[in-house]
Chains A and B, each alone.
Chain A
Amino acid sequence: MTLLGPSGCGKTTFLKIVGGLISASSGTIQINGRDVAEPQPDFGVVFQQANLMPWRSILKNVLFPMEILRRSDSAATLRAKELLALVGLEGFEQSYPSQLSGGMQQRVALCRALIHKPKLLLMDEPFGALDELTRMEMQDLLLDIRVKTGATVMFVTHSISEAVYISDIVAVFSKRPSVIADYIVVDLPYPRAAEIRYSAEFTDLEHRAGRALGITR
């Protein structure tokens, strides 16, 4: 599911409330009938910045959540290596973040968010700082990872095509004061590949989201 909206509409705030990082001024969030008012260890978070620790090797960065959760063992190390291989970073385990490009760092951040097998992955404009080509690669990678891990993803973006491409559902936020302007069910078939971006259905969905955002008629 993707939260799509203009900057400043509160979609990041909403995501942080879901993640328990800030508390809602009113109302409650329920997930599977459970109130979430504080961070849940079975959530994974990816931010706009990779937020890697420059003093840790790539492998140790990925293992960070396991250390905090006191589940750091050889199985965890093995899984970290598998995840790194999955995102195409095999052989970079002992490198340091400063040796990696922005896209590679964001892939490490993705591995770190997945290391403890979260049921829900919260992603706050994770590809926003990347160039267009890297961004499209990362979107395909995310679709792939969703299939392989079975995690639910809540994704924040202000890119219409990104929202349509990667989602089952797009919730469109309006400008402040924000309301959910549209709730779009994306019924494009899987597996999705870049060609689908040029299909009529895809363009129609983009149009609909654009109308909800008030930028097209």
Chain B
Amino acid sequence: MTFRDVRNTIYPVVGITIVLLGWQLYTHLLGINRIVLPSPLDILSASIANWDVLLRESWPTFLESVLGFALAVAIGIPFAVCVANSRVLNLTFYPILIATQSIPKVAVAPIILVWFGLGMQSKLVIAFLVAFFPIVVDTAAGMRATPAGLLDLARSLRASSIQVFLKVQFPAALPFIFAGAKVAVTLAVIGAVIGEFIGSVGGLGNLLLTANSQLDSPLAWAALIWLSGLGILLFAAVAIAERIVMPWSEIGHH
């Protein structure tokens, strides 16, 4: 471990410790009711006492987020490639995409539930809908941002459009695609939770709502922490995938 590694680990830990300590002192010294604001230790003990419930309820939320995100990647990237490379497709579909994006997803969620039921499918669809847009927008931007010099080079060799796409355009767009994917994966978790809030039989969102209605604030907060943990986990997974797919991005950019 270098000095930089140590520093990069210690500073965030110090920051979190300060916040938690202040929070603990605040609730303790002022005698705040734990229903209004549980202390970090209350949340920790609720998290330990209910770890099996939390873990069980994490699973559906995890699946909904990941599958919704995966679907958004699988459909969003090819869609963006088509839209970015064809003027006709761009003019035909991009306005529709922008129009649908401006509809608040929370407002659509009840309709989705009517279509897909209370189970996991409806949450998966909502997660897909919120993750789709950033992936399409960033991928399309990446497709259009290919350096002109590289395109000239490919053209001077009479590269076919397939070769240009596979060997130049797509690799050049990868940083954009991953930027979109990182935003999308955290949004997918939010989408899944929105779905669970509107109506569900399981998941961390459901647990949070149930705990809240029973005035079990420590458990509700524990569910919240687990949710953010899930978001961080998925974000980290995409970041690791980025490093594996684009090993060159790590070199010379510290």
Contact = CB atoms under 8 A, between A and B. Distances in A.
Interface of A: 19-21, 38-39, 41, 43, 45, 47, 49, 51, 53-56, 64-65, 67-69, 96, 98-99
A39 B248 contact: no
Contacts of B252: 96, 98-99
Contact of B149 (A49, A64, A67, A96): A49
Contact of B147 (A21, A41, A51, A68): A51
B119 interface: no
Given A51-B147, A68-B157, A68-B159, 9 more contacts: A39-B156, A39-B158, A55-B248, A56-B248, A67-B167, A68-B158, A68-B163, A96-B251, A98-B248
A96 B150 CA distance: 16
Contacts of A98: 248, 251-253
A67 B163 CA distance: 9
Contacts of B157: 39, 41, 65, 68-69
Interface in B134-179: 147, 149-150, 152-159, 163, 167-168, 171-172, 174
A117 to B, nearest CB: 13
Contact of B248 (A67, A68, A96): A96
Contacts of B251: 96, 98-99
A51 B158 CA distance: 17
B97 interface: no
Chain A contact surface mostly = loop
A76 B158 CA distance: 19
Contacts, number: 58
A34 to B, nearest CB: 16
Q: Which 5 pairs between the two chains have the least Cβ-Cβ distance?
A: A98-B252, A51-B149, A68-B157, A45-B156, A68-B159
Contacts of A96: 248, 251-252
B248 A19 contact: no
B248 A54 contact: yes
B240 interface: no
A64 B167 contact: yes
Nearest to A47: B149
B246 interface: yes
A55 B174 CA distance: 10
A21 B248 contact: no
A53 B150 contact: yes
A38 B168 CA distance: 20
Nearest to B159: A68
Contact of A39 (B155, B172, B249, B253): B155
Contacts of B153: 45, 47, 51, 64
A112 to B, nearest CB: 8
Contacts of A69: 157
A20 B156 contact: yes
A41 B154 CA distance: 11
A84 B152 CA distance: 23
Contacts of B163: 67-68
A164 to B, nearest CB: 28
Q: Which of B150, B163, B246: most chain A CB closer than 10 A?
A: B150
A73 to B, nearest CB: 17
